[in-house]
Amino acid sequence: MKEQRDTAAFERYSQEHGRCLGMAVEELRTDKALTRSEVAKRANVSVLWIQRLETNQLHTNYTIRRLDQVARALGVELYDLYKRAGEMMRPPPWLDREGALNDE
């Protein structure tokens, strides 16, 4: 039972991370007055891929290299992109007080 709960918690965390990463990309892009097309061209990815990243609709794994290309297209380092996304996230479910109390 605990393993199922851990798997579900990780899945929620992963979805939240993807959502925040997409929001960070969109914020950086709009702050710099860039279109999705411009970012896609600079990052050598499709406009659809950028759109799906921003809206958390990517259903496949993607590489750090690809995210690095997007970050550089936005004029930031990959670290800064992840930092910005991390600042938007809520604490992981396994650090939630209620969840921690349920494990006792």
Q: For residue range 3-27, list pLDDT tens digits in order.
A: 666 788 778 878 888 899 999 999 9
List the domains of the chain with CATH numbers: 2-102 (1.10.260.40)
Q: What is the pTM of this model?
A: 0.78
Report how far residue 53's alpha carbon sits from residue 35's, in angstroms, rounded to the nearest whole number: 14
Burial letters 71-89, b for 16+ CB under 10 A, else e: bebbebeeeebbebbeeee
Q: For residue range 21-49, list pLDDT tens digits in order.
A: 999 999 999 999 999 999 999 999 999 99
Alpha carbon 74 to its chain's center: 15
Tokens representing 33 are 């007055």
